[in-house]
């Protein structure tokens, strides 16, 4: 696609429910990132996928959070048993990663999650 696409754009859920957020990266971009941004705060790294390599999950805050990506396509971020503290905007970014590349990140518009 022309840009990074995320869905849903807004999600309101009840505490304890599971949610699934989707990211469709720019075609051909091998790197994909998930970030969390709480209101008025900076971006927190969650997870990074690079091609078929093992993902860097070092930013996932708890085992309630997981993410998958098949090859160089769509990624899904799943939050199980949501808590109010999970309320945030979840941003996805993709990058054309190549040797010596500058690695500009192209961000989606984000998925705003509200846990009641």
Partner 1 sequence: KNQVEQSPQSLIILEGKNCTLQCNYTVSPFSNLRWYKQDTGRGPVSLTIMTFSENTKSNGRYTATLDADTKQSSLHITASQLSDSASYICVVRDGTASKLTFGTGTRLQVTL
Q: What residue ranges bind partner 1 (CB under 8 A)?
A: 4, 33, 41-43, 45, 91, 93, 102-105, 107-110
Count of CB atoms within 10 A of residue 114's CB?
A: 13
Closest distance of CB 81 from partner 1, Å: 27
Q: Which is nearer to partner 1, 14 or 58 (CB)?
A: 58
What is the β-pairing status of strands 10-13 and 75-79?
A: unpaired
Minimum distance of partner 1 from residue 111's CB (angstroms): 11
Residue 42 Cβ, how far from partner 1 at the closest point, in Å? 4
Min CB(58)–partner 1 separation in Å: 9
Question: Which residue number, 20 or 107, has a Cβ lying nearer to partner 1?
Answer: 107
Half-sphere exposure of 98 (CA within 13 A, CB side): 4
Per the rule left: phi > 0, alpha: psi between -120 and 50, beta: everything else, 109 is alpha
Q: Name which of 21 and 108 has its Cβ closer to partner 1.
A: 108
């Amino acid at each position: 696609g022309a840009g990074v696409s995320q869905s849903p754009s807004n999600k309101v859920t009840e505490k304890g429910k599971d949610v699934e957020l989707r990211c469709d990266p720019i075609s051909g971009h091998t790197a994909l990132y998930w970030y969390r941004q709480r209101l008025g705060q900076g971006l927190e790294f969650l997870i990074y996928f690079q091609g078929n390599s093992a993902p860097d999950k070092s930013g996932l805050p708890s085992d309630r959070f997981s993410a998958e990506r098949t090859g160089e396509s769509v990624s899904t971020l799943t939050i199980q048993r949501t808590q109010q503290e999970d309320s945030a905007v979840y941003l996805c970014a993709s990058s054309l990663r190549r040797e010596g590349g500058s690695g500009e990140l192209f961000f989606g518009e984000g998925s705003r999650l509200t846990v009641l």
